[in-house]
């Protein structure tokens, strides 16, 4: 059970970061020039980079990393609620926010059940 609690948040974090990164590839189909496409690409990668930094932090300090994932889930929900009606928010929430909550909880559980230091 300890191995599952240890590896699940890490694997889910990597999958989530790759999932967010896929959305940044759509800028290359828009017909931008190469410099404009690269700027747009890196701007679209900002959420994935933020989650990557939280993941790197969580691998060193699981409790604080788990809390950072919970804060990211709250920040994503505030950001996406501003521009969406309730139906859109529920769809986006189930795809983007719930995994962050799950990963955060699993990292916190990792701290208390695996890393008892």
Mean pLDDT for each 10-residue chunk of the chain (117 residues)?
A: 90 95 86 87 92 95 94 87 75 86 94 73
CB 37 within 8 A of CB 30: yes
Q: What is the pTM of this model?
A: 0.87
CB 72 within 8 A of CB 101: no
Query: What is the model's pLDDT at position 78?
Result: 84
């Amino acid at each position: 059970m300890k191995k599952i609690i240890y590896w699940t948040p890490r694997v889910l974090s990597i999958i989530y970061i790759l999932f967010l990164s896929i959305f940044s590839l759509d800028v290359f189909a828009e017909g931008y020039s190469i410099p404009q496409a690269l700027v747009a690409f890196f701007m679209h990668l900002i959420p994935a980079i933020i989650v990557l930094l939280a993941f790197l932090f969580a691998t060193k300090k699981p409790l604080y990393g788990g809390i950072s994932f919970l804060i990211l889930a709250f920040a994503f929900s505030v950001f996406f609620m501003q521009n969406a009606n309730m139906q859109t928010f529920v769809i986006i929430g189930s795809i983007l926010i719930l995994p962050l909550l799950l990963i955060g909880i699993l990292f916190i559980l990792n701290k208390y059940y695996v890393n008892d230091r």
